[in-house]
A and B are shown apart, each in its own frame.
Chain A
Amino acid sequence: MNTKKNEIWSAYQKEIADDHYYFARSCIRQNFFPAAENLYIDILRNVLGKDIYDDSRQTTCTGIAYHSGLIPLETTMTVIARQFALMNEAGYENFVVSCVTSFGLYVETLETWKHFPETEKETRDALKRATGMTFSIPKNIVHASDVIYKFRKKIAEKIILQLKNKSTGEPLKIVDHIGCHYAKIFPQEGIGGAEYPYVLAGLIDEWGGHQVDYPERRHCCGFGFRQYLLKSNRSYSVTNSKKKLDSMLPYKPDLIIANCPGCTYFLDRWQYVIAEMEGKTYGENGYGIPVLTYEELAGLLLGYDPWDIGMQTHQVAVEPLLDKLGVAYDPEKKYKGRNGEDIGIPENPQVLRCC
């Protein structure tokens, strides 16, 4: 869809380092899409030939607790300062953040130190007292999806499948969902800014797909931090996801891609809940709309086996997408264990079709 609106993003650019990254993992991604981060590292190292350091010592940034009103900003800033110190010790200057909440908080911390310089000193002193560590601020901080965006043309040279329907040759219709904390807090830190984020749309354009521009494209997925964490408050979360899903439904998307771990999770799981509670499904023939991360999408197009990159850990079945793309896969291997052994299969939901 080449409209003028789709070109506005080009006015908003940012610096993304070319190589030698220090990687900070995500709380949510590790658990709910447990193969995604290793796939990301594999694509950077073995497809793009980049150096990325995976540190066993790094931890959470505390972002979910912070945005739930649980812990002080001083605590979060000092945990982040420790991550910087670890990056320094490992000999790196470019920080790549796997989580969008974390990315927002790293930027927030640096902005806080600029606006209130005494807080940087207090953080440095607190880190020193607590751990004996000192740190230098990274030269470059980006979200993990920024790096895939930067190298989208190089990836395009290596992909064996395009984002097209194998049977018809038509581009697949794809919804992009950008996590709120990627650019709504600091628009200058996002490719395309807050209004026209292009970090995922650029992948769709480059790899042969068709962007779906629907009314609630920029609405929050509904994480809400403490609102999701409490079972009593979770209707906040599903209601916001449903608003988005209902809004995109008339455009019949083949796929949703997201750059935020929480958003990927909610848009996947809430489709299951809406199906079971209301009997409503958003894909074709009783399926949902598959929800992938940016590196999962790259991985499929590059020819990785879908079951090696964790596609079976999504609640919404990905097979309708695999069939449209023409991905070769063995259905028998989907639910096998580490040595190919039979470990049973998930129960079938009552409504949502899951193969």
Chain B
Amino acid sequence: MMKDLYKELEKDIRYIEGLKSCFNCGVCTAICPAAEVSDYDPRRIVDTVQKRDESELEKLLKGDEIWMCGECLSCKTRCPRGNTPGYIIQALRALSIETGMFTESHQGRKQLAIKRTVGDHILKYGYCVYIDEVDNEMYPEQGTVWKWLRQNRESILERLGTSYNKNQSGTLRHISKKSLDDLQKIFDETGGSRRLEKIEKDSAEKAKELNIDFKEGKDDYFNYLYNE
């Protein structure tokens, strides 16, 4: 068992800010959209964390539950003791990745799929989402209008006055190399790049263990995580 998990957790300002003292009233769980649709229970997580039991903490970091939160942060508004379960979740998720424990749970493993979509889009396009990457197969709920828009995007986006693929200000513009380089350097300098690389590296090991093909992009391991 890895020792000193609390020592690491307590370095995270979101943990410091998020946990004051919980008296188990359960208001956070009552208001929580995730608790309503799954077994996720923020009251239980906060209570577990405040017990300061290393093995219980390790179970959380290796489990699915910390990944069920939707980060709406409704819990912050409602807690009568000034706790923010959502911030504690943010700190637990970060520690789960840093310790490599995220690959021990089905939900935790899915961080690779998010890295290979939103994470990679940021450094490629300068935004988390970009029309060229959002097809109806991966996002069927986008519907028939999106399919039509996407198929005719050069024409429609010009009609609507956007700057799609253009080197100028405006909607959906092409982001300059200088701006993308700035983002990359910020990621390199602040641990963002290292975090993304760690997700790739630990995922490669897990994929090998699970005997699922792992390469890059939308490989078998990605599709398994994204769809199942």
Contacts and interface: CB of A to CB of B under 8 A. Distances in A.
**Do these two chains really belong together in a complex?**
yes
A60 to B, nearest CB: 4
Interface in B2-19: 13-14, 17
Interface in A50-80: 54-60, 62-65, 67-75, 77-79
Given A269-B141, A338-B158, A126 B189 contact: yes
Interface string A227-250: 101111111101110010000000
Contacts of A112: 13, 17
B38 interface: yes
A65 B111 CA distance: 10
A45 interface: no
Interface string B182-219: 11011111111001100100000000000000000000
B168 interface: yes
Contacts of B72: 180-181, 184, 220, 223-224
Number of contact residues on A: which range applies? Answer: 35 or more
Nearest to A63: B128
Contacts of B23: none
B131 interface: yes
B186 A313 contact: no
A55 B170 CA distance: 8
Given A131-B186, A344-B148, 20 more contacts: A55-B169, A70-B114, A70-B119, A78-B186, A82-B186, A220-B70, A224-B71, A226-B111, A232-B227, A233-B110, A236-B33, A238-B141, A239-B37, A240-B37, A269-B143, A272-B141, A313-B156, A341-B155, A347-B147, A349-B144
B179 interface: yes
B45 interface: no
Interface in B96-115: 97, 110-111, 113-115
A30 B134 CA distance: 13
A217 B128 CA distance: 28
B160 A346 contact: no
Interface in A179-233: 180-181, 184-185, 187, 194, 219-220, 222-227, 229-233
Interface of B: 13-14, 17, 33-34, 36-38, 67-68, 70-74, 76-77, 89-90, 93-94, 97, 110-111, 113-115, 117-119, 122, 126-131, 134, 138-139, 141-149, 152, 155-162, 164, 167-173, 175-176, 178-179, 182-183, 185-192, 195-196, 199, 225-228
Contacts of A131: 182, 185-186
B13 A119 contact: yes
The residue among B114, B145, B172 with the most chain A CB atoms within 10 A of its own CB is B145
A57 B118 contact: no
A91 B164 CA distance: 26
Given A79-B186, A238-B141, A348-B144, A69 B118 contact: no
Contacts of A272: 141, 143-144
Chain B at the A interface: mostly helix, strand, loop or mixed? helix
Contacts of A71: 119, 187, 192, 195-196
A31 B111 contact: no
A28 interface: yes
Nearest to B92: A69
B170 A54 contact: yes
Given A180-B72, A343-B156, A69 B189 contact: no
Given A59-B175, A126-B186, A315-B146, A336 B159 contact: yes
The residue among B76, B147, B227 with the most chain A CB atoms within 10 A of its own CB is B76
A60 B126 contact: yes
B182 A184 contact: no
B183 to A, nearest CB: 6
Contact of A70 (B159, B186, B195): B195
A233 to B, nearest CB: 8
A34 interface: yes
A27 interface: yes
Given A131-B186, A314-B145, A354-B145, A69 B122 contact: no
A70 B93 CA distance: 9
Given A72-B94, A231-B227, A57 B186 contact: no
A56 B114 contact: no
B33 A335 contact: no
Interface string A67-104: 11111111101110010000000000000000000001
